[in-house]
Structure 1
């Protein structure tokens, strides 16, 4: 890239720093930055001290193009989530050179990715997911019953949204319900280092102490899931844990590291992102009595509401890709080895695709939201997530007479997975 083109591509410092500030994702600052980028520099080069340079991809069309070209834009060569230079070096030291603490589907490219994805694809196909409906409805009924017993006030995130999808995914995996607190802690530990003030504390720690903390989290995850794997190898059942534990790839049993990665991605992607969309949709309902009345009057609108809640919340804010050769996207020259940030929440507010993108609307047909990704890495659990959300609202709304905020709705601080952290509500059941 020549000097003039480099200057033209460079994102202004204030915008660049917003993109790498976890706190920006807990409010409107990130959307203000995305709006400016889409209008002025939709595929811009970000240079911030402490981070390797990367391209911010903010247009819907460019995100789709990169997501479709999996041989050209890899997931496994660099960290798939934004990381500081120090964090990436630390991970490579801990893993013997790999940029990934866990190797799961999202960190794989062909030829491994399609082989590992095929292991559980049938479990998450639309037909298989439909067979789970009765069990999910029973879980949703129990969750709504618990909410009804709370006396008209709750924090919807901690009291409902976190537990419901976790219960579903634990049922599918075959994990004992007595392990629910342990599973919740493990999934929260994975995503928690950017939130709740931990980032500033962690950043002040000496590297050897930080390494011990990260190693301890990963050791807990490995210990738990390898215990499940050993049990299923000795006593296989008709559950997803048995499928993963007894998987064979290229004629050889799946390694412990990759089994751990598989368990981890199923548990976290099947839980945290769904809970964020559930709470995001509920937050909209609490602020809009007219929308609640509309859905109660016509429950056939619930699927459209669910799809818009997913677009609106966009739980996975970003994923990183790296170029395997020189190419061009959106008029920019991308060099081999360049790192790119796919900004899904920006694509889901792209004015070129969505009319009035900052409004919550049920009439988006089709709703071309990108929250589940696109291409070979499109979320394998998307059909399950939609069904869980649909069933919860179908169960809750007929019983819900009124709902309103009972305090401030706050959001997690993370450039990766982000959604409501607290949602205090007052409500009245019929």
Structure 2
């Protein structure tokens, strides 16, 4: 039986959110619409796919997602103070690994101290200095894709600029960026495994990525520059240098976040343009729509569909009692389709304003790279608008088998030069 409030959506009409095959067909927006209406805080019973056979709470309504996301005292990103494992995935990560050490899996007072160390390198005034370089890179990337005629838009365009940018910001040689891509993809991809499982491929990729990160950090300690890994290698918190594990977690997080989420927003945005007749022409005719178009792409694609928290105390949310130590999942993708906040939420509308989406989260854990992500999406769109008159999808769209990343694995497209 569901532990949600009376009138809760029966399990028969809500799919198993831990069955990753569900997400290969796209995010289950219809199921979340039912949840927002009938059971905005819903207990997901464990299934054969659920890690450790432990259920979790599903928070789907905008106001509840935002409220819980801003309450770090009650809804912990670490979680290991009240249970043996924690973190921001449905599956527990062991205490002493990422929880408490990776930026997005820490709580105050540790979290704001780590965040301040990295913020200076991705502040708007700093990123403004690399915008022209990103724009030139985007032009070269788009020109190469247009010259091919037919391309895999995900690999040839959407992934390439974020990958080049994250390599530059981390202080990684550009010739190594595709190795980083392969490692990040293997560690985040569930194509051949279920939640909580590892395969030889994912284990090897993680090991190679960690070895690379260690060697990179050693070089930065010996010869620091102005990149993010130099910051991690030489910074101190409370007059103490960052522990080796903390430094490696900075590398792992920034590599994954910097390459995965933005590429999925760009690819998903292009797919939306392809599916919505006339909108690309509207944007080409009126470039003032570019800024709201970027925001709508972020709302529409919601590259990170959920983050998990752990309740640190018994608490009531939307009339439902949550117990200390229980897992609570905040579904940003569902909040971004809440009709109470977004009129006609299932329409891709590049004129939508205001657009208070939560694609970057909300509260103290608001995405550190939001300014960079918006810039990357914008400069890619600019290059496409200048060089592409039309486009069409010319083969099956393959989506990522994951409930943690709303991603596209393959997007075959034909680009018509302008």
Name the SS of the counterpart of 1:121 in structure 2: helix
What's the counterpart of residue 206 of structure 1? none
Instruction: Note if contact 1:16-1:47 (Cα within 8 Å) is conserved in structure 2.
Output: no
**1:57 alignment partner, one of 56, 59, 66:** 59
Instruction: Note if contact 2:167-2:173 (Cα within 8 Å) is conserved in structure 1.
Output: yes
**1-structure distance, mates of 2:20, 2:112:** 32
2:182 counterpart of 1:185? yes
Structure 1 segment 231-380 matched on structure 2, within 5 A: 231-380=219-368
Instruction: Note if contact 2:142-2:383 (Cα within 8 Å) is conserved in structure 1.
Output: yes
Name the SS of the counterpart of 2:278 in structure 1: helix
**2-structure distance, mates of 1:107, 1:175:** 24
Cα displacement string for residues 353-412 of structure 1 (whole angstroms, at most 9, x for unaligned residues): 111111000222110111100000000000100011001111121211111111222211
User: CA 1:66–1:99 in structure 2 vs 1: closer, same or farther (change >3 Å)?
Assistant: farther
**1-structure distance, mates of 2:97, 2:215:** 25
What's the counterpart of residue 22 of structure 1? 20
User: CA 1:345–1:255 in structure 2 vs 1: closer, same or farther (change >3 Å)?
Assistant: same
> Structure 1 residue 303: deviation in Å?
1.3
2:166 counterpart of 1:172? no
> Structure 1 residue 288: deviation in Å?
3.1
Name the SS of the counterpart of 1:421 in structure 2: strand
Structure 1 segment 135-214 matched on structure 2, within 5 A: 135-150=133-148, 152-192=149-189, 194-195=190-191, 198-199=192-193, 210=198
User: CA 1:29–1:14 in structure 2 vs 1: closer, same or farther (change >3 Å)?
Assistant: farther
User: CA 1:308–1:175 in structure 2 vs 1: closer, same or farther (change >3 Å)?
Assistant: same
> Structure 1 residue 10: deviation in Å?
6.3
> Structure 1 residue 29: deviation in Å?
6.2
Instruction: Note if contact 1:139-1:168 (Cα within 8 Å) is conserved in structure 2.
Output: no
What's the counterpart of residue 82 of structure 2? none
**2-structure distance, mates of 1:313, 1:214:** 26
**2-structure distance, mates of 1:101, 1:178:** 32
Instruction: Note if contact 2:100-2:106 (Cα within 8 Å) is conserved in structure 1.
Output: no
**2-structure distance, mates of 1:30, 1:130:** 37
> Structure 1 residue 243: deviation in Å?
0.9
Name the SS of the counterpart of 2:23 in structure 1: helix
Q: Where is the helix percentage greater, Structure 1 or Structure 2?
A: 1
How many positions carry a matched residue from both structures?
Answer: 408
Name the SS of the counterpart of 2:390 in structure 1: strand
**1-structure distance, mates of 2:120, 2:328:** 31
Over the aligned positions, Cα root-mean-square deviation in angstroms equals 2.2
Provide the TM-score with structure 2 as the length reference.
0.92
2:416 counterpart of 1:422? no
What's the counterpart of residue 81 of structure 1? 89
Structure 2: 5+ residue runs without aligned partners?
Answer: 80-85
**1-structure distance, mates of 2:12, 2:179:** 40
Structure 1: 5+ residue runs without aligned partners?
Answer: 204-209
> Structure 1 residue 79: deviation in Å?
3.0
Name the SS of the counterpart of 1:238 in structure 2: coil
Instruction: Note if contact 1:16-1:46 (Cα within 8 Å) is conserved in structure 2.
Output: no
Cα displacement string for residues 207-228 of structure 1 (whole angstroms, at most 9, x for unaligned residues): xxx5866553332222111111
